[in-house]
Amino acid sequence: MTSLPALIERFPARELEIHRFCARDEYFRCVCEDYEAAVKALGHWEGAGHNAARAAEYRQLSAELAGEIAALLDAARASRTIR
């Protein structure tokens, strides 16, 4: 199972759903891994007192990826309820 601590922190109520979707969907898994990398980079740029503009870029990227993940989860949930 893929370790996704930042994503689980962002969506704690959807942890099981996230792990299940990661196990069966490669694209979703890649987006989740991208989110984890973006959050890690954000922490680096914020925590080390580095370039504030770079931190803002990673904050925006993290937010966009979180939105995409939520949309993918919602679409998967909707397709399961239609069946």
Predicted local confidence at residue 2, as pLDDT: 62
Give residue 78's pLDDT band: very low, low, confident or very high (50, 70, 90): confident
- Residue 67 CA to residue 83 CA, distance in Å, equals 25
Tokens representing residue 55 in the block: 């931190």
Predicted local confidence at residue 37, as pLDDT: 96
- Domain total of the chain: 1
Range of the domain at 78: 5-82
3 state SS of 1 = coil
Q: Which candidate, 9, 80, 73, 71, places its Cα nearest to that of 39?
A: 9
pLDDT in tens, 8-54: 999 999 999 999 999 999 999 999 999 999 999 999 998 877 688 89
> Model-level pTM?
0.88
Handedness of CA 52, 65, 4, 37 (dihedral sign): negative
